[in-house]
């Protein structure tokens, strides 16, 4: 019985293959024709010197101009940070981003040194090393007391 089943299924498979073969080959031919047509249509319109047509399309679609403009603006003539020994360019009031934050902190807590002036000349202010931890809290408290008096 098992051998008969196998024979039968083989027969069915053969029959199906025989009927499907011409359809499959037709499909393949059609897809080849479509591919050829597509390349024939695509080639004369998009092909330029040196670049494949796909790359050209991609370049046209994605071009963020705003970011580039910002980059150009920020890379203009810049002066250095006002703090002596700081290699970064000035960002605000003559200080780099990090030292401007420090400037704001010192100003807010009433500990701004005399050489930390707004729009200070580059490399003109001595860096301030603030105490950290418990010593820092103590220094802050004393600065507040001095401010109130
Ligand atoms: Zn700096």
- Overall average pLDDT of the 131-147 stretch: 90
Q: Is the domain of 86 the same as that of 134?
A: yes
Of residues 75 and 4, the one with the higher pLDDT is 4
42-72 burial by CB neighbour count: b if 16+ within 10 A, else e? eeeeeeeeeeeeeeeeeeeeeeeeeeeeeee
Q: Is residue 99 part of a domain?
A: yes
Distance 60 CA to ligand 1 centre (A): 41
In a domain, 20, yes or no: yes
Instruction: Confirm whether 37 is domain-assigned.
Output: yes
The domain of 121 spans 79-148
CA angle, 9 then 14 then 15, to 5°: 95
What is the CA(2)–ligand 1 centre distance, in A? 87
Task: Give the model confidence (pLDDT) of 59-104 as tens digits.
Answer: 555 555 554 444 434 444 679 999 999 999 999 999 999 999 999 9
At 125, give phi and psi (nearest 5°). Answer: -110, 135
Distance 88 CA to ligand 1 centre (A): 6
64 CA → ligand 1 middle, Å:
31
Lowest mean pLDDT among 17-26, 72-81, 110-119: 72-81
Give the pLDDT score at 145: 86
Per DSSP (E only), the strands in the chain are none
Q: Are residues 105 and 136 in the same domain?
A: yes
Q: Quote the number of domains for the chain.
A: 2
Instruction: Please check the confidence at residue 107 and state whether its pLDDT lies above 70.
Output: yes
Length of the chain: 149
Nearest to 147 by CA among 95, 96, 103, 107: 107
What's the pTM value of the predicted model, to 2 decimals? 0.47
**Is residue 86 within 8 Å of 116, Cβ to Cβ?**
no
The whole-number average pLDDT for the span 19-42 is: 69
| Average per-residue pLDDT for the chain | 77
Together in a domain, 48 and 86: no
Segment among 26-35, 58-67, 76-85, 115-124 with least mean pLDDT: 58-67
pLDDT value at position 75? 41
Q: How far is the CA of 82 from the centre of ligand 1 (A)?
A: 7
Whole-number pLDDT of residue 72: 38
């Amino acid at each position: 019985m098992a051998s008969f089943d196998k024979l039968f299924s083989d027969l069915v498979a053969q029959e199906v293959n025989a009927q499907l073969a011409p359809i499959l080959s037709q499909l393949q031919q059609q897809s080849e024709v479509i591919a050829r047509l597509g390349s024939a249509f695509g080639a004369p319109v998009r092909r330029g010197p040196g670049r494949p047509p796909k790359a050209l399309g991609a370049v046209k679609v994605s071009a963020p101009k705003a970011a580039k403009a910002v980059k150009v603006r920020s890379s203009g003539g810049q002066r250095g940070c006002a703090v002596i020994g700081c290699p970064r360019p000035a960002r605000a009031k003559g200080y780099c981003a990090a030292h401007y934050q420090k400037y704001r902190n010192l100003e807010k807590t009433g500990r701004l040194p005399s050489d930390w002036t707004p729009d200070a000349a580059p490399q003109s202010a001595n860096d301030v090393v603030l105490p950290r931890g418990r010593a820092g809290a103590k220094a802050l408290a004393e600065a507040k007391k001095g401010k109130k008096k």
